[in-house]
Amino acid sequence: MTRTSPRPAPKSFHVKSFGCQMNAYDGARMAELLEAQGMTAADGSGEADLVVLNTCHIREKAAEKVYSDIGRLKRADGSRPMIAVAGCVAQAEGAEIPRRAPSVDIVVGPQAYHNLPALIEQAREGRALDTDMPVLSKFGSLPRRRAQGASAFLTVQEGCDKFCTYCVVPYTRGAEVSRPWGDVIDEAKALADAGAREISLLGQNVNAWEGVDDKGRAQGLDGLIRALDRIPGIARIRYMTSHPNDMRDGLIAAHGEVESLMPFLHLPVQSGSDRILKAMNRSHTAAGYLRLIERVRAVRADIAISGDFIVGFPGETEADFAETLALVEEVRHAQAFSFKYSPRPGTPAATMTDQVPPAVMDERLQRLQALIGAQAHAFNRASEGLVMPVLIERNGKKPGQRLGKSPWLQSVLVDSDVALGTILDVAIVSGGPNSLQGVVAQAAAA
């Protein structure tokens, strides 16, 4: 495409993030960066001069979605905004994207988005592509954190070296890298100054985080959590996603000792069958996972366990699947995500023989989700009658309603007009399948 004069510089933008919390974090940081350039956030993609689609490549459906989204950006008068494809599809497909969707102006990978301002300039004249993976340089080139609400994400670790045979993440996000101690502490302080009461530490394998503290001592994620616990204003700390093999003693101990570390652990196991775990290259067994859960519960009896599961991995038999159901029953997950296996280009599992037929996958997914749903509901019902501190994060749909989170990451609806960011004692009246309803505790006692 040749143009005689450059397109006007975009003045407004809209970032749309898909996929995991890491993408949500990256999306927030791209927005901060564009605002620092003087651009303003538009209400939606309809009004924006620049639309950033921050994409996910984890399953086929997620990856294909970007192409239909690009199509929808064309406006009634035939015009379209400047379009940037960011995130994991950008990393995985690179130059293939504008070949399939010529209206794409910018392709920018998850480790290169600090270069967006330069890429936008370039895109005014033609097309711009950057999928380099410089180690961590992006963080140094991004503006200081702005207000993110009561609960904020903070990426501390990126990438993955585990190479589960079904997964694209090691290819889209690169090797495991930990952000330096001081950077993380500074960012947490900035978030606390901007009003965050809760920080969720993020990483593809967040518990693999390692670093050196300001006194030169080697530290793991537990050390980082203990340091964040001392920052004034930060009342709650969470972390996700963890890998069973990186669940070290110090981190387990922290769950019994650090009061601001919330009693919630997202620890994916994927399957309850050792045969399938082996084929997945998970390098842990079902029994090993159960032992870990037992050890965490020994120091924090009330901890809520969450997880991820894949049904229909190549070769999964009904007996293998029954072992997954048995594991879920044994752990009594408070919540969990479950997915149908999706073959991904370039991964070893995609070319394995004995792929499971879609109808079998559908049926297994339904059974697993029914079990997980019933357990989640039971977990919520068990909260009835309890008084718990709730971090108020949003306004409810009706005036005088607030929405917040329990320590166990349950959504709680309460009639109250307190300011967002308040931690309110709430007496739980009812526990539904997806959320709790409660009343302000003093009112309940009166």
Structure tokens at 137: 């340089």
24 lies in the binding site for ligand F3S (CB under 6 A): no
What part of residues 166-185 is at the interface with ligand F3S (CB under 6 A)? Answer: 168-169, 172-173
Alpha-carbon distance of 141 to 426, in angstroms, equals: 42
Which phi-psi region, left, alpha or beta, contains residue 385 (left: φ > 0; alpha: ψ -120 to 50)? Answer: left
Residue 150: half-sphere exposure toward Cβ, Cα within 13 Å: 19
Among residues 94, 170, 288, 343, the one that binds ligand SF4 under rule CB under 6 A: 170
Structure tokens at 329: 């029953």
Instruction: Name residue 437's beta-bridge partners.
Output: 413, 430
Q: Report the SS3 class of residue 182.
A: helix
Where do we find the tokens 């450059």? 6
Q: Are 376 and 334 in contact (CB under 8 A)?
A: yes
Q: Report the SS3 class of residue 140.
A: helix
Binding at 342: pick from ligand SF4, ligand SAH, ligand F3S, none (beta carbon under 5-8 Å per type) = ligand SAH
Among residues 166, 181, 264, 321, the one that binds ligand SAH under rule CB under 6 A: 166
Gyration radius of the chain over CA positions = 23
Among 139-147, 222-230, 255-263, 336-344, which window interacts with ligand SAH (CB under 6 A)?
Answer: 336-344
209 lies in the binding site for ligand SAH (CB under 6 A): no
The site map against ligand F3S for 52-71 (x = CB under 6 A) is ----xxx-------------
Q: Report the SS3 class of residue 434.
A: coil
Per-residue buried b or exposed e for 114-124, using 16+ beta carbons within 10 Å of the residue's own CB: bbbeebbebbb
Among residues 15, 66, 88, 440, the one that binds ligand F3S under rule CB under 6 A: 88
Among residues 139, 163, 171, 337, the one that binds ligand SF4 under rule CB under 6 A: 163
Among 25-33, 83-91, 159-167, 372-380, which window interacts with ligand SAH (CB under 6 A)?
Answer: 159-167
Binding at 170: pick from ligand SF4, ligand SAH, ligand F3S, none (beta carbon under 5-8 Å per type) = ligand SF4
Among residues 14, 145, 226, 243, the one that binds ligand SF4 under rule CB under 6 A: 243
Q: Contact residues for ligand SAH (CB under 6 A)?
A: 58-59, 160, 166-167, 169, 204-205, 241, 243, 268, 270, 308, 310, 339, 341-342, 344
Q: Contact residues for ligand SF4 (CB under 6 A)?
A: 160, 162-164, 167, 169-170, 204-205, 243
